[in-house]
Structure 1
């Protein structure tokens, strides 16, 4: 899942810490590039299944159009208010489009787990409610970088 993180080894998270962090956080920032080279960053809720980050994106968004042209993406999930509390994970790679677009609730066994995780984490529900405007993107990261400033010795 991860490339070797060369810088900041002393503040990087362990695989278990990354997994726990991604399971508890709700919001990520997704960076894409449009066909004319303009960068775009937008916030989304997500679900983490232990291997892939699942993004539920509006299909009529700039993000969706950018990813249809070029599926490469960088995603940051971060947390912390004070400098010594900052921690986060950057995941990068290419997304896969999974299920129908927009999502109406057709049976896709591959979406059972991410939809259950997403509905529980973000809405406190047992099942996903589909609005006919969103669809699923799966990022199985090619590279992962993490930081946890709480690991910096104080003093």
Structure 2
């Protein structure tokens, strides 16, 4: 098997591709850490609303407990070749208190509405502070496409 040739994308292409994937994909790896118990990583369904990632998990899950203790999280789309990593602070919102537009969009995307479940669920909202996007070694330089919650400027085409 020969490796595929990687054509280096410019910043505008990386940003466009990352946003496209955030809008289209279903699963995201969520990494949290507890001050005493260490790291925890799980895949969750997610919704990108154009500003933030919305995920849902059981109110008593390790992910929810960790976020309450330490809100800093790292999120990753599941492709190890076309990497998109997000970093930010997660906010916990009980399912019955989540903004209706976000909860309705989540339910529409997945055909499942946590607000109707008997067991308590929380939504995690993460507005990214940092986004990194790269494909292979040729794109390691310049992989940061968002810093301090602001998309980095791209050169005009």
Q: So what's the TM-score if we normalise by structure 2? A: 0.70
Query: Structure 1 stretch 45-54 or stretch 130-139: which is displaced more?
Result: 130-139
Give the SS at the match of 1:141. strand
1:61 correspondence with 2:25:
no
User: How many angstroms does 1:62 deviate by?
Assistant: 0.7
1:115 correspondence with 2:95:
no
Q: Map residues 100-111 of structure 1 onto 2, 5 A cutoff.
A: 101=94, 103=95, 105=96, 111=99
Using CA pairs under 8 Å that are at least 6 residues apart, name the structure with larger relative contact order, 1 or 2. 1
Task: Please tell me whether the aligned partners of residues 33 and 70 of structure 2 are also in contact (alpha carbons under 8 angstroms).
Answer: yes
Runs of 5+ in structure 1 lacking a partner?
1-9, 81-85
User: How many angstroms does 1:35 deviate by?
Assistant: 2.0
Q: Deviations over 1:35-74 (max 9, x none)?
A: 2151110111010001100111111111111111110000
More strand by share: 2
CA distance in 2, matches of 1:148, 1:55: 25
**Pairwise CA RMSD of aligned residues?**
2.8
Aligned residue number for residue 83 of structure 2: 88
CA distance in 1, matches of 2:126, 2:43: 15
CA distance in 1, matches of 2:23, 2:123: 18
Runs of 5+ in structure 2 lacking a partner?
1-7, 140-157
